[in-house]
A = this chain, B = another copy of it.
Amino acid sequence: MIFTLRPSAGGAVLALPLVRRTRDPFQGHWALPGGWLDAAEGLDAAASRTLAETTGLTASYLEQLYAFGDVDRSTTRVVSIVYWALLRQDEVDAQRAAHDAAGDAPENVAWSAVEDLPALAFDHNQIITYALWRLRNKVGYSRIAHGLLPDEFTLAELREVNESILGRRLDPANFRRQAEASGTLIPTDRFRTGSHRPARLYRYDVAVELAERGPLSAPPESDHPVPHRIEE
């Protein structure tokens, strides 16, 4: 499951890619991207591979969300170990452009706003409901918004990401106070300038980020030093 924030008229909205099923059960229905675990493949690797094969997307760090295994969730007995990641819209766009240039853009993929989902195959609507609940529970002023922000960001940008995930406005002064007290943001010497008064740029404390992955930590990808962490 990949979440991104997509610009829209009323502010950014959470969206995720769906894949149209080309065979039964649920042929023609939309579903979460996924696939089968290979015999010689770890869970994390299978999540990355099936995501890439179905959507063309890669994420620097996919995190295990939950294993769903109700007896009647498919026509045969299927246990789905669901992974998720947050991707910035510009990362999604760049990956899409690269596939278009290479002529290997995947078919049968479409992005849907989470508030406007069709009836999906299997229990996938319920899985998304669970993921959104986890996402909204964790968001507050925490690092969770990290995966949807550039490396440096203003506190207003951080707040807007949080507001989009939560679907409600946050008090700017309270948010600023909590964010500054969180111990996870490092102020830079740079400022965002534009039509508003200059706003200081912040970045996340990578040391905190990596420590929080704990015993499951893997060496960060060489091409992306900061994994996009949703929660521990």
Residue ranges of A at the interface with B (Cβ–Cβ < 8 Å): 37, 39-43, 64, 66-71, 77, 79, 81, 126, 129-130, 133-134, 137, 212, 214-216, 232
Chain B residue numbers with a CB within 8 Å of A39 are 71, 77
With both beta carbons as reference points, the residue of chain B lying nearest to A77 in the complex is identified as: B39
Question: Known contacts A67-B67, A81-B81; can you find 8 more A-B pairs with CB under 8 A?
Answer: A37-B69, A37-B79, A39-B71, A41-B71, A43-B70, A43-B79, A133-B214, A137-B214
Chain B residue numbers with a CB within 8 Å of A133 are 214-215
Give the interface SS of chain A, mostly helix, strand, loop or mixed: mixed
Copies of this protein in the assembly total 2
- The reply to whether A137 and B232 form a contact with Cβ atoms under 8 Å apart is yes
Kindly list the 8 A-B residue pairs having the minimum CB-CB distance in the complex, ordered from nearest.
A43-B69, A133-B214, A130-B215, A67-B81, A67-B67, A129-B215, A42-B70, A133-B215
A79-B43, A79-B81, A81-B79 given; A134·B214 CB < 8 A: yes
**A77 to B40 alpha-carbon distance, docked (Å):** 8
